[in-house]
Structure 1
Amino acid sequence: MTMTETLAVNPYGRLTEPATLTIERLLPGPVSRIWAYLTDAEMRRKWLADGEMEQKAGSTFELVWRNDELSDRPSVRPDGFAEEMRMTSRVLDVQVQKRLVFTWGESGEVSFDLTPQGEEVLLTVTHRRISDRTNLLMVGAGWHMHLDILAARLTGDPVEPFWDGWQRLRAAYDQRLPA
């Protein structure tokens, strides 16, 4: 990824509706590689969360976060966060190597849209029905940090410790998103 291409996509999420956050990343392709990082539990575990997922609408699966394991360097986990977090979700839509949509726990929904752009892939993550501003800041910082880790995994760059980055980004989202 060249510096010019990197600057073409704003790394920060933006409110596209009152309770909807959209965040984009231009990633090195091909699409099949990015798709594998979304759907294969072993690959997804390296940047987001573990959990076997059947690529079929209606199937349920569990996401298992162990954010402490996402980087080689340790960071201090903020108070109130467990070493492991789990959430049951249900696949809503699968268009192989194009779109993946699943529920976010009981109330939210997340979609991943992949658009080839030459040798790169535009990944658009849309998180809908975020309950309140506190969760919006946590979700914004969370997706931003997880996508930064995905980009680092894809390029071979060093990975910033998750919680250090998350706390920095949470403060940035508090400034960027309207109260």
Structure 2
Amino acid sequence: MNKKLAVALSGGAVLVLALSGCSSDEDKFTVDDWAKKYCDAAQPQIKKRAEAEQLIRSTASDGKPADIQTADSKAFQDLSDADKGHAAALRAAGTPPVDGGEKLVKDAAAEFDAESTAYLNLKKQVDALDIQNQQNFADGLKPIAEGLAKIEQNQTARQKLRSGETGTAMAKQPGCKPVKPSPAAGSVT
């Protein structure tokens, strides 16, 4: 009688495990799930970046040094904050279930962190410019423009993330779609 009870109990345990869905496909974390998690968290950063870039573009290069300094300083701070937010969103989304997914996220987040720091350095340079002397100010903007161009060229890890399965999954997500800056983004306050 005890053998029958043991067989029944072990059979019942197998049945409970099967019904609980331990091997169910519903429990799998897909690349699309990862992309949704990342893109939903990244959307505010994408908007902040678009507005900061618009602020830089909309500031007249022949404008008053104080206006240019104010606009560029704000834009560089916002770009730094956006990149820091992107890195945090990547880390929070976890590892995408693709070959090399952990490295993809780690490298892209590190790239965002480095870019965030580079934008803060540009902000410090802009804030230190002499706005009283137009020529000195213009001369001081040249290395800042070069630094900005250098930052924009170094996006290798993000390009890898935006390619392959992760890129395809991200492209499907509304949160990763480019956004248009709000009309107020171009005005300097």
Sort the TM-score into its range (normalised by shorter chain). under 0.3
Relative contact order (alpha carbons < 8 A, sep ≥ 6): 1 or 2 greater? 2
Structure index of larger Rg: 2
What TM-score, normalized by structure 2, do the two folds share?
A: 0.26
Task: Kindly indicate which of the two structures has a greater share of residues assigned to helix.
Answer: 2
